[in-house]
């Protein structure tokens, strides 16, 4: 792939636990991606604005607070309203499998739970970008 994948890693809401997000950000960077980490306590508006400003291919949210059924749809809606229909929204956290399926139906990409090897989201993102940005 000629152009590096640009990924925004964000911690939305009041969730103050960012260890997993930092591990994933480092893993994405080690896999050759350009990583923008927003830090803690981001609103959906802040996340989407950063995605626009940074011209990212992927937005990855890390949510451990239980607010995933509110935050993912809010970010997805704002992404659509702002014309980011060709940007992958993915992420991970403490999310029940049934809720992962529901979020996927809404248009959110694959989601990952605790204990997932870092290679899985890396491979998923690389394949998604290869399929959606062939050049």
For residue 92, the domain's CATH number is 3.40.50.280
Is position 80 within any domain?
A: yes
Is position 62 within any domain?
A: yes
40-91: per-residue pLDDT in tens? Answer: 999 999 999 999 999 999 999 999 888 999 999 999 999 999 999 999 999 9
For 72, the domain range is: 6-132
Is position 48 within any domain?
A: yes
Is position 1 within any domain?
A: no
89-125: per-residue pLDDT in tens? Answer: 999 999 999 999 999 999 999 999 999 999 999 999 9
pTM for the predicted model, two decimal places: 0.95
Is position 112 within any domain?
A: yes
Whole-angstrom distance, CA of residue 98 vs CA of residue 6: 29
- Radius of gyration (C-alpha) of the chain in whole angstroms: 13
Task: Quote the number of domains for the chain.
Answer: 1
């Amino acid at each position: 792939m000629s152009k590096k994948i640009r990924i925004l890693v964000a911690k939305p809401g009041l969730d103050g636990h960012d260890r997993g997000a930092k591990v994933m950000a480092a893993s994405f960077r080690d896999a050759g991606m350009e990583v923008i980490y927003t830090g803690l306590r981001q609103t959906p508006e802040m996340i989407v604005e950063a995605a626009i400003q940074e011209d990212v291919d992927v937005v990855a949210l890390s949510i451990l607070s239980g607010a995933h059924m509110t935050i993912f749809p809010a970010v997805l809606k704002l992404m659509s309203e702002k014309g980011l229909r060709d940007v992958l929204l993915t992420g991970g956290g403490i999310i029940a499998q049934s809720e992962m399926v529901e979020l996927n139906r809404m248009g959110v990409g694959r989601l990952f739970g605790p204990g997932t090897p870092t290679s899985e989201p890396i491979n998923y993102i690389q394949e998604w970008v290869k399929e959606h940005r062939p050049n």
